[in-house]
Structure 1
Amino acid sequence: MDMAGETTGRHGRTGIVDVAVRLLDEHGLPDLTMRRLAAELDVRPSALYWHFDSKQVLLAAVADRIVGEAVAPEGAAVGDVAGALRDALLRHRDGAEVVLSSQALSLGADEARRRIAEALPADVGAAGAAALLPFVLGHASIVQQRLQAARMGVLDTPPDVIAAEAEADFAAGLRIVLAGLGVA
Structure 2
Amino acid sequence: MAHSLDDVISGALRVLDRYGLEFCSMRRVAGELGVQPSALYHHVKDKQTLLAHMAARIVREVEVGDDLIAFAHDLRAAMLTLRDGAEVVATASAFRLGVSDLEADLARRSSPDLARTLWIYVVGHTQATQLHRQASNLGVIEADPDLDASFARGLAIICG
TM-score normalised by structure 1 residue count: 0.80
Letter in 2 for 1:83: H
Q: For residue 112 of structure 1, report the CA deviation from its aligned partner.
A: 3.0
Q: For residue 118 of structure 1, report the CA deviation from its aligned partner.
A: 4.3
Higher-Rg structure is 1
Partners in 2 of 1:133 and 1:114 — Cα distance?
Answer: 10
Partners in 2 of 1:98 and 1:10 — Cα distance?
Answer: 26
Map of 2:72 onto structure 1: 82
Matched, 1:172 2:158: no
Map of 1:148 onto structure 2: 134
Q: For residue 69 of structure 1, report the CA deviation from its aligned partner.
A: 3.1
Q: Deviations over 1:116-147 (max 9, x none)?
A: 33442xxxx22211111000010000000000
Map of 2:18 onto structure 1: 26
Q: For residue 76 of structure 1, report the CA deviation from its aligned partner.
A: 4.0
Alignment of 1:24-173 (within 5 A): 24-70=16-62, 75-120=65-110, 125-157=111-143, 162=144, 164-173=145-154
Partners in 1 of 2:99 and 2:141 — Cα distance?
Answer: 36
State whether residues 112 and 133 of structure 1, in contact with CA within 8 Å, keep that contact through their aligned partners in structure 2: no
Partners in 2 of 1:18 and 1:92 — Cα distance?
Answer: 12
SS at 1:156 equivalent = coil
Q: Which runs of 5 or more residues in structure 1 are unaligned? A: 1-8, 179-183
Letter in 2 for 1:112: L
Partners in 2 of 1:114 and 1:76 — Cα distance?
Answer: 14
SS at 2:103 equivalent = helix
Letter in 2 for 1:88: A
- Please list every run of at least 4 consecutive aligned residues from structure 1 whose deviation after the TM superposition is greater than 2 angstroms: 69-72, 114-120
TM-score normalised by structure 2 residue count: 0.92
State whether residues 92 and 99 of structure 2, in contact with CA within 8 Å, keep that contact through their aligned partners in structure 1: no
Partners in 1 of 2:139 and 2:99 — Cα distance?
Answer: 36
Q: Deviations over 1:136-178 (max 9, x none)?
A: 0100000000000001110123xxxx3x411110111111112
Q: Which runs of 5 or more residues in structure 2 are unaligned? A: none
Q: Deviations over 1:39-61 (max 9, x none)?
A: 12121111111211111110110
Task: Considering Cα pairs closer than 8 Å and 6+ residues apart, tell me whether 1 or 2 has the greater RCO.
Answer: 2
State whether residues 79 and 126 of structure 2, in contact with CA within 8 Å, keep that contact through their aligned partners in structure 1: yes
Percent identity (aligned): 39
Partners in 2 of 1:112 and 1:149 — Cα distance?
Answer: 30
Letter in 2 for 1:15: D
